[in-house]
Structures are given as C-alpha cells and as structure tokens.
C-alpha cells in the first residue's frame, strides 16, 4: 500500500508530485509529503513538507513553496509501523537532512537495523521502519559518494519488501530507485523522467514505462534514465506501452468511484470472457499447464484475502460441483503457517485484486517450494502474483480506485468460473455441449446486471433506509447464497462501519438468532435454488422474532413478500451464476447505507487498496 511519485526535469516538480499523489491516494491517505530540491546561495538543499491527512491538505501547505524546484519525490501513506502523524509521514531524511527517501513495503529486520544505527550515532525522528533506509543510505553515501551505489549498498542490509526512491542534495536532479516485491514503474516523458508506484500517477506525461523487476535499480536525471542490476551492471529492461486513458481513473460523471465501478461490471463480465471460447471449446492459454497436466490435478486450494477470499468460496462450489475435484479455500495469511497437503498434482489458485498482497505472495512461494502448480487471478498486468505464478487470468476490470472492491470481485468470480469449467472439461465431467451452454449463460449475466441497475434502484434505497440506523446486521443464505452473504456483510462493514456478520442460514438457530430483536436487519439471499424452501423456513424463524427482513430474490417471486419487509429482485439465473448477479444489489445497498450514515464510500477509514504487509 502507500503511493510513490517522483519527477526530475524542466517543469515545476511540486505540481507534478501533487497531481500524482492525488491519483495515488486510493493506496493510502493517513498522511502525505514531498521532498523538493531547492538551490539557495549556490547550494542545493532538500526541503521536506509533510502533512497528516489527505493530499488536499498538503497541497494547501505547498501553495507558497518555491515553484522553481524541478526535482522531487512524494508519498501518500497508509500507516503500518508508527501511527499517522507528521513525524511518521514520508519522506524521511538522513541525520544531516541532505538525503530524503520515500518507501513502500515493510522492513522485517528494522528493529535490529535501528538498534545498530543508533549504536553508531544515528538519531531517529520517527517510529517507522522506513527511516532506517535513510540512515543506511547516509552511511553508504559517505563512502560511495554516489547515490545509486549507496542505495544499492543499503538494500543489501534490508530484509523485506521495498519500492524506494531517494534524492540527495549533493547530486541535484538525480533520483535513485530500487525495487523488491513492491511495484515501481519508470517513465520518460517530453519534460523529464518519472517514477511511481502506479501508472496512474504519470499517465498524463508518458505512456511508455519500464516495470522495474526485483533486484533492479534505476537512476533518473532530467536528461534520461539508466538501469542496473543488483551487481551494478548496466541492463536494458523492456519498455511497456500503456494504451488505456485517464478516463478510466476519473469519475466520468458519477458522484463517487465506487458507483462508477459498480456500473462498469457488465463490461467486466464481457471483457473477461472475450476470446475464451475458441473452436467451440473453452480455452485459457495463459494457464501455463498442458491439458495432460490439468487432467492430473486431484486437489485445488484457493488462497486469497478479504473480498478475494469470498470469490474463492464461490469457486469451491463450482469446482466441486462441475469438476468433482476436492477444493479448499484458505485465508492466505493462515495457509503458510500450517502444513497443508500439497503434491505435484495440487493446483494452488492465488486470487488478488492488486497482485501484490503480501500474504498471498508468501503463500504462493511456499506452495511452489512444496511442488504445487500455481495459477494466479489478478487485475494488474505484470504484478508480483502474475509473475510468480505458472499461469494467470487477468480479470479485465481495469483500474479500480475505490478501496472496497466491487468490479474486481465480479471479475474474479467470472475468472474462477472459467477455471472451474475448464477443469470439468479436461476431466470430461461436462460435455463440450454443456460447457458451451454454461459459457453462454455466464455471458448473459452482463445484461442481467444492467437490468438490476435499471429496475431496482428504488427497492435498494428503501432497504437502505431500513438499515441506516441499525447497530448490527446479519447476512444469511444457503448453498451459493451463503458464500454471497459473506461478501455482502464485508461490503457493509467496510464502507458504512455498521457491524455485520454472515452465516449459513441453517446455522441461525445455533446461536446468532439470540441477537435478533424487533427491527434487527436480516439480509437474505433467497433466490430460486435447490435450497430455496429451506432458506424461507430459516427466515420465518427470524420473522417470528421481529426481525426486519430484506431479501434478494428471483424476479417474479411474489411469495417471498409474505415474510420479507423489503425485496430486491434479480433476474432468473442458474444457481451456479447467481453469485454474479446477487452480489450487485448488496454492493449498491452497502453504498446507500454508507452515504446515509455520512461515510466516505471511496476511502473508508483504516483501509487501503493494496495490502502489502502481513
């Protein structure tokens, strides 16, 4: 998490940094800061300006700062080590104030390094792990008198993940950059050189970028960019051209990014399916496994965190139903700390919106060591999950700005559905004709989502009114509905701060029903399915105790109104695909409740878009 941007060239650096930081704010917004080089009395100094809170506050503070500075680095932070405060905000500086750095990631051995540095006379101003980098570079620079060489030396002492950019008053106009397990892109534009943790920060200035790999370093100057490996040898990494436009990162007339991204979900379904049916058969060339290898798969683990974990719960239903392969869904943060049964015929499916989730990456590495085949599902091309997997499906959600994932979740579910169909196809559990039919129905969900947008707005609004003053809520369902309930509960608590839990509806009587008193909201997924009657029976237990019942139901189901206070309809769809359609009204419901409670739906408190620490 956190965001980095840097520039050196002929333009006003502060304007470029602020613009980039605003676009990176989805990655963290506890604090923000910049380091700008300024020439004073024939000497270059580094001015560091930091502010707690969002980038707008930093922008106000920079209003009177020298606009002539043409080199600088900036950072927007999501706190890990050290509370949100001015002293903990980036950039951090060396003891003499002549070196400033910004850093994404986590330094696992920072306590040991800090103790050693303090023993050698360094004074620390913050509680952060990042600050050790500034002092390590300072020590190395005293010997090297070369910023990039000093950065390279500092990295040899650090255990952990980093994307780092550094400037030094003794080398005006130079930015040194390094990367390990934390995304960094480098670009060259008409007016100078750029570094950022995300393409979105510099897309106005350049479309041709280098995605820095682990162990690679870059030296940026106004005149150009050079690259070296960990040994300092020159390298020429490939340049990637980015063809999407900035409109993808703007609200396009919507009041918030979350609503914009919810409304983009029909496109995500269509784009994720494009090219997947060739010659009448399902095809995922990127899988990186032959059909023979796929046929040998006898166990599947889906490893993920948060929303992606819920996509995995849906995948478990589909893989076991269609392919008849045992499938387990594991929180990535737990997977690596136990001893799962893994053999060469095990397939580990790593699901991560950002492709840089630290827990998921660690689990991938453990799985590969134990001999598993690893397949990634992510939204970010070239991300660590993509690079460290044998194969990958990109969800085609494009940039997702709102912190609470919506369109990426739908993309993940569609991608996992494709994987389940492919496994069933290669194991001959489904015929070619059955796979074609299911693929066609999967594609139909795009229009069905659009139907929800066009017809259920009022119903969702009324249901939100029934929830907005509650202190807690329960989400329930059975079968596929139970998996969907988990995602609905997460969305509500993420953005409205209303406590919510999800339960399999049949479990209500085993404890949670004690919570229900008159007016308590119970949100149920009760679509037409093999377990519909059982779900209705469970809801009657809630009705008898005065619960306010909100139901996501199948279009045309009027009987459900006998027990429901509010009904939100979705089109009739095969139970296997109802997760795609039934999730959408729950996303919209969470957003409505959050807005009614005065919450920021794009940037909920304490959360960041990409979680790169364990």
Which residues does the annotation mark as catalytic?
A: 2, 609
The token pair at 429 is 């559990």
Give me Rg for the CA atoms of the chain.
26
Q: In sequence order, what E strands does 63-172 have?
A: 71-77, 92-93, 99-107, 160-168
- Determine contact, residues 163/182, Cβ cutoff 8 Å: yes
Distance (Å, rounded) from C-alpha 324 to C-alpha 420?
10
Beta bridge partners of 109: none
> CA dist 580 to 187, 505, 509, Å?
38, 20, 28
Residue 119: partners with Cβ closer than 8 Å, 6 or more residues away: none
Distance (Å, rounded) from C-alpha 258 to C-alpha 251?
9
> CA dist 212 to 215, 239, 356, 467, Å?
8, 10, 14, 46
The token pair at 267 is 């496109």
Kindly write down the DSSP assignment for every residue of 166-215, as one continuous string. Answer: EEETTSTT-EEEEEEBS--EEEEETTEEEEESSGGGTTTT-SEEEEPPTT
Q: In sequence order, what E strands does 461-511 have?
A: 472-477, 499-504
Distance (Å, rounded) from C-alpha 305 to C-alpha 385?
13
**Phi, psi values for residue 585, rounded to 5°:** -65, -25
């Amino acid at each position: 998490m956190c965001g980095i941007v840097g520039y050196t060239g002929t333009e006003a650096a502060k304007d470029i940094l602020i613009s980039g930081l605003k676009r990176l704010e989805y990655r963290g917004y506890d604090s923000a800061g910049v380091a700008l080089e300024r020439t004073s009395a024939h000497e270059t100094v580094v001015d560091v300006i930091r502010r707690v809170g969002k980038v707008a506050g930093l922008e106000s503070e920079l209003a009177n700062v020298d606009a002539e500075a043409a080199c600088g680095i900036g950072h927007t932070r999501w706190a890990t080590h050290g509370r949100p405060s001015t002293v903990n905000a980036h950039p951090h500086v060396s003891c003499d104030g002549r070196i400033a750095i910004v850093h994404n990631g986590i330094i696992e051995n920072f306590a040991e390094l800090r103790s050693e540095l303090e023993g050698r006379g360094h004074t620390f101003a913050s509680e952060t792990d990042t600050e050790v980098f500034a002092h390590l570079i300072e020590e190395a620079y005293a010997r090297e008198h070369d910023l990039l060489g000093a950065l390279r030396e500092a990295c040899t002492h650090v255990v952990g993940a980093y994307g780092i950019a550094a400037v030094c008053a003794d080398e005006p106009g130079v930015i040194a950059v390094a990367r390990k397990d934390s995304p960094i892109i480098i670009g060259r534009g008409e007016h100078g050189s750029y570094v950022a943790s995300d393409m979105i920060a510099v897309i106005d200035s350049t479309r041709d970028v280098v995605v820095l790999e682990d162990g690679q370093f870059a030296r940026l100057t106004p005149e150009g960019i050079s690259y070296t490996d960990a040994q300092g040898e020159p390298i020429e990494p490939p340049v990637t051209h980015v063809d999407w436009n900035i409109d993808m990162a703007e609200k396009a007339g919507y009041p918030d990014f979350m609503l914009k991204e919810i409304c983009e979900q029909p496109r995500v379904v269509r784009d994720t399916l494009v090219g997947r049916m060739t010659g009448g058969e399902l095809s995922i060339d990127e899988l990186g496994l032959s059909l023979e290898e796929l046929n040998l798969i006898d166990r599947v683990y889906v490893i993920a965190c948060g929303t992606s974990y819920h996509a995995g719960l849906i995948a478990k239903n589909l893989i076991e139903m269609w392919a008849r392969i045992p499938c387990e869904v594991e929180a990535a943060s737990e997977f690596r700390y136990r001893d799962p049964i893994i053999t060469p015929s095990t397939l580990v499916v790593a699901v991560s919106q950002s492709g840089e989730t630290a827990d998921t990456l660690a689990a991938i590495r453990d799985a590969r060591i134990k001999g598993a085949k690893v397949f990634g599902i992510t939204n970010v091309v070239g991300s660590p999950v993509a690079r460290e997997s044998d194969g990958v499906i990109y969800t085609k959600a494009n940039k997702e700005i709102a912190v609470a994932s919506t369109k990426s979740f739908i993309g993940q579910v569609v991608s996992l559905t494709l994987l389940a169909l492919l496994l069933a196809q290669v194991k001959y559990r489904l015929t070619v004709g059955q796979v074609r039919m299911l693929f066609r129905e999967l594609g139909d969900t795009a229009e069905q989502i659009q139907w929800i947008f066009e017809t259920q707005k009022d119903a969702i609004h009324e249901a939100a009114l029934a929830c907005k003053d509650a202190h807690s809520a329960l989400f329930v369902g059975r079968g596929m509905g139970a998996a969907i309930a988990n995602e609905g509960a997460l969305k509500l608590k993420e953005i409205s701060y209303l406590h919510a839990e999800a339960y399999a509806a049949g479990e209500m009587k085993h404890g949670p029903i004690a919570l229900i008193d008159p007016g308590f909201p119970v949100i149920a997924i009760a679509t037409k399915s093999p377990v519909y009657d059982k779900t209705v029976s469970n809801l009657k237990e809630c009705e008898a105790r005065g619960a306010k019942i909100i139901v996501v139901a199948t279009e045309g189901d009027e009987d459900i109104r006998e027990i429901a206070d509010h009904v939100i309809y979705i089109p009739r769809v095969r139970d296997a695909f109802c997760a795609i359609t039934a999730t959408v009204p729950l996303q919209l419901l969470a957003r409505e409740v959050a807005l009614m409670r005065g919450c920021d739906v794009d940037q909920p408190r304490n959360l960041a878009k990409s979680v790169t620490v364990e």
